[in-house]
A and B are shown apart, each in its own frame.
Chain A
Amino acid sequence: METMEKSGRVHLPAKLVYFFAAGEAEGNAGMRNILGGKGANLAEMTSLGIPVPPGFTISTELCQAFYDNGEKLPTELRTAVEQALARVEAKIGKKFGDKTNPLLVSVRSGARASMPGMMDTILNLGLNDETVEGLAKSSGNPRFAWDSYRRFIHMYSDVVMGMNSSFLDVAMEDLKDEKGYKLDTELTADDLKILVVKFKKQVQDSTGQKFPTDPKEQLWGAIAAVFRSWNTPRAIAYRQLHNIPSAWGTGVSVQSMVFGNMGTDSATGVAFTRNPSTGENLFYGEYLINAQGEDVVAGIRTPIPILAAEAKRAGMVGESLEEKMPAAFKALVGTYERLEKYFRDMQDMEFTIERGVLWMLQTRTGKRTAKAALKIACDMIDEKLISVEEAILRIDPKSLDQLLHPTLDPKAKKTVLTKALPASPGGATGKIVFTSQDAVEAKERGEKTILVRIETSPEDILGMVSAQGILTSRGGMTSHAAVVARGMGKCCVAGAGDVAVDYTREEMRVAGYVLKRGDVVTLDGSTGEVFLGEVKMVEPELSGDFERIMKLADEKRTMRIRANADTPKDAIAARGFGAEGIGLCRTEHMFFGADRISAVREMIVAENRTEREAALDKLLPMQRADFLALFETMRGYPVTIRLLDPPLHEFVPHTDEETRELAKTLDMDFDKLRTRVKSLHEFNPMLGHRGCRLAITYPEIYQMQTRAIAEAAALRVKAGDKLIPEIMIPLVGTERELAILRELWSVKFLMCKKRPV
């Protein structure tokens, strides 16, 4: 390290950049650690002969080098990038920065673990006032060229120059209003030229910098920005949420552009090889004609289903890719089938169709809900695509939590406000909030919220974590809100076009209702319905896929699974979930019951053993009944009962008022009682008079508990159960403690007076 700092050099790997183009990919799918998921799969797809625009990926190891180098690109990297770029130019027959037929590139992030939408992307890079003319001529489509240019300035100024791009949105909306347009696609080439001039001026006014015209300078800026986006607050928050080490870094893929915005024979879209929400084995995707990738994912326009049947269901008959571009659709179907078979898992793909020709821009293992994960795992076992072990290993155990949460009671009375896309399943009720900040603050106060947004952006991630559910008025099943919510297992209803969201008035209008911030709504992420007020929830019904995977898991595991359960109610739930016994029954919880707390207190404040035993005599039948119920519920399974653990002061009154009342109940002198209660105070109760230390000093307590266990067990054994009660002593630090307590039961216990069972 020291020599490195002295020489001012940073550690660089042997190979900095990995080229890919038909027939010559230097990387492969196994290299995701250094190429990132995106780079590795682009290389792999290229090797498979799937059409992928040529490009190269900068190793994730350069991310750390970039930071070590004071957030500057190492010179060696510039050289390697220039060499790789020359290879791309040779492959395509276009030159970067060329005035007649320019090569444009996209610059995109890609880490080892997928972090959808968390890092930055720049498209259409390489445009300036001269190359745009060249692009207009070479494509024969000036509108497309200028549309690409205004997109580039918008994205670059936002991502690289750190400008608030909403200024540019306003300029564009103003122009549309002036011209009386509704859609972006109505803007003409001349309109877009005006817009480009306005954009550039705005950039200079806001940032004090001229928009860079040199394509190389643009490229260095974009690569650095992608590296920097690894450490934006939203990316850091996402990494923490998903336990992704910050040392991994992101790769950068620089790829020749293909254009989905070249006219009505061009399109862009996102597709899943199976439904990511339900797991159904049905190709699922959305696309937009004459658009670029960010239009689909950012929810700017609501995309159209790829399949004809889905489009019909959504009321867009004839609009699907299947109907509009049958040849490209067929190519896409062939490609997805190959990719899924090859990677043997559900894939999430991005594609672009340029003048009728399909290009793949990405494939990755698709994020899915727990329900979908189980269904896909079961289906793939049946399709003999994966083994049982693989199926088990693929399901994130923590995601099962989603299935165990309550869902809406189908029998409850409901007022439906609207029905939109079921983007992520589950039920959620909460107060409406319109900002992530409000959701975060409400959570700190312990309040449940529904985050209502026109669309979400990566800045909303903390709000999405804090809210119970998410409702958006724009965007499809592949929008940011939908993808992120599914990843979190959070309920989400997306694209609710009937909901008019007004941020400034903090209200939403739907179905004749005006709902303000703080009003309560309920979402059903499985049907896409939104309801007024709170709707009753019921325990979930576990699917056949769930049972099947659980059974397969049970056959593979070697450890037993028990549950911590203090009451028969807990025990029943535990059995329902497949627990094979109780590993911890905390008896102290039994002491707090309304019918017994006064006996417990009487025992605690007792002055001598006789008094203490008299109080314990009252508790014995109650404890016996507790254990009996537990043994009955857990018939045939082991039950471990932990004897009293917490310090006694936890059971006594804390205020004079309560003490006075207790004195009355116990017919005791108030001052005397108060002194006794005070004497129980400890400075460090966790390390104080608790656990087996109680029993060493007051053996009667554990004696009573043991007796209750024994008597309850005897009754069950008499009734024919096979039962081996397990008595557990807490907070043992020495062998002697345990030996004394064992002795206590074998000898002294028998001297207690005999009680009828």
Chain B
Amino acid sequence: MQKETGVKFDYLIGTMIELPRAALTADEIAGSADFFSFGTNDLTQTTLGLSRDDAGRFLATYVNEGIFAQDPFVSIDQEGVGKLVKMGVDLGRSVKSSLKVGVCGEHGGDPDSIQFFQKVGLDYVSCSPYRVPIARLAAAQAAITSRAGGAAGSGMH
């Protein structure tokens, strides 16, 4: 395409990671991808086998009963969906250390999820425009607490 337009420019081709299989085989996929973006809305649906549009009838009960700590579409399910995200990041970077990794989805604007994404080592989060200030502040808090936590952790040894 660069030949045709007569202009040279770089482009990146990346993939969304929104199926458990993609996260599980992220090392293979990373070979053909310049970046990963975790689509955590669909990844939550496909990991939990839970349709967001149909969850309304029982989700509140699940939260009240403590089956889910929080609505997994609002704040990422760290133990399940989050584990896949972490695995995807680690596997992807194991073959391509420069792999750019981010998240796009409602979780990108949720402070608790942002804290988790910092820990996992994402390069960016993407959220709806109105949540950008929330994400900026939450990301700063995540960076500060992870630094403090890191320092405290090393002090313990």
Contact = CB atoms under 8 A, between A and B. Distances in A.
Interface of A: 240, 243, 389, 392-393, 395, 397-398, 400-401, 403-404, 546, 549-550, 552-565, 570, 573-574, 576-584, 640, 642, 686-687, 691, 706-707, 709-711, 713-714, 717-718, 723-735, 738-739, 741-742, 745, 749-750, 754, 757
B141 A392 contact: yes
B18 to A, nearest CB: 6
A435 to B, nearest CB: 22
A727 B17 CA distance: 14
Q: Which of the listed residues B3, B18, B32 has the most CB atoms from chain A within 10 Å of its own CB?
A: B32
A382 B41 CA distance: 41
Interface centre among A389, A546, A583, A724 (most CB of B within 10 A): A583
B3 to A, nearest CB: 7
B72 to A, nearest CB: 14
B25 A735 contact: yes
A737 B126 CA distance: 25
8 tightest A-B contacts by CB? A583-B126, A553-B140, A560-B124, A714-B5, A584-B104, A577-B132, A562-B126, A710-B1
Interface residues of B, number: 70
Nearest to A749: B1
Interface in B102-117: 102-104, 108, 111, 114, 117
Contact of A561 (B63, B125, B141): B125
A553 B25 CA distance: 35
Contacts of A686: 42, 45, 51
B136 interface: yes
B134 interface: yes
A581 B124 contact: yes
A559 B32 contact: no
A728 B64 CA distance: 38
Contact of A730 (B18, B126, B127, B133): B18
Interface string B75-91: 00000000000000000
Contacts of A718: 7
A397 B138 contact: yes
Given A550-B137, A562-B124, A714 B9 contact: yes
A732 B22 contact: yes
B15 interface: yes
Contact of A733 (B12, B19, B141): B19
Nearest to B53: A686
Contacts of A731: 16, 18-19, 42
Contacts of A555: 140
A57 to B, nearest CB: 28
Nearest to A718: B7
A392 B1 CA distance: 46
Looking at B22, B25, B42, B104, which has the most chain A CB atoms within 10 Å of its CB? B104
A732 B16 contact: yes
Contact of A640 (B14, B17, B18, B138): B14
Contacts of B13: 726-729, 738, 741-742, 745
Nearest to A387: B144
Contact of B29 (A393, A549, A563, A738): A738
A729 B8 CA distance: 22
Contacts of B104: 562, 564, 583-584, 640
11 contacts: A392-B141, A404-B133, A549-B137, A559-B118, A563-B129, A564-B108, A686-B51, A710-B1, A714-B9, A728-B16, A735-B29
